């Protein structure tokens, strides 16, 4: 957010404005500390991706995830992978995620 210096400065100096924009009481700002954090990007490999073979934008693409081991962070990882894919490739299709458990 530091590249958006105007909003960074406003939210740093007047954090209550953010919560007022969200429809919350300005006093909610007293419960938070505003900061800017750099998020490092991990390398993800999708288990499977079924992409439409025609350019029909109504056909969804499917992200297939096969999970044989318990993983408490499965959905955090899965949605991270999905949204990173969406950001990088910007497919014109809707999407569906299919998780296969044994």
Q: Which residues constitute the domain of residue 34?
A: 1-38
| pLDDT range class, residue 81, cuts 50, 70, 90 | very high
Give pTM, 2 decimals. Answer: 0.69
Q: Are 33 and 68 in contact (CB under 8 A)?
A: no
- Shared domain for 31 and 74, answered yes or no, is no
In a domain? residue 7? yes
- Shared domain for 83 and 63, answered yes or no, is yes
pLDDT digits (tens, 9 = 90+) for 11-36: 999 999 999 989 999 999 999 988 87
In a domain? residue 86? yes
- Shared domain for 31 and 55, answered yes or no, is no
In a domain? residue 60? yes
The three-state DSSP-derived secondary structure of the chain is: CCCCHHHHHHHHHCHHHHHHHCCCCHHHHHHCCCCCCCCCCCCCCCCEEECCCCCCCCCCEEEEEECCCCCCCHHHHHHHHHHHHHHHHCCCCCEEEEEECC
pLDDT digits (tens, 9 = 90+) for 30-70: 999 888 767 777 788 888 999 999 889 999 999 999 888 99
The domain tally of the chain equals 2
- Shared domain for 32 and 58, answered yes or no, is no
- Shared domain for 93 and 53, answered yes or no, is yes
């Amino acid at each position: 957010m530091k590249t958006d210096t105007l909003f960074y400065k406003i939210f740093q100096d007047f954090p209550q404005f953010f919560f007022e924009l969200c429809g919350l009481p300005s006093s909610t700002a007293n419960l938070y500390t505003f900061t800017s954090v750099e998020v490092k990007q991990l390398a993800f490999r999708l288990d499977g991706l079924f992409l439409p073979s025609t350019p029909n934008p109504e056909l969804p693409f499917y992200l297939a995830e096969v999970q044989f081991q318990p993983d408490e962070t499965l959905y955090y990882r899965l949605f991270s992978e999905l949204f990173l894919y969406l950001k990088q490739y910007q497919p014109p299709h809707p999407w569906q995620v299919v998780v296969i458990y044994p």
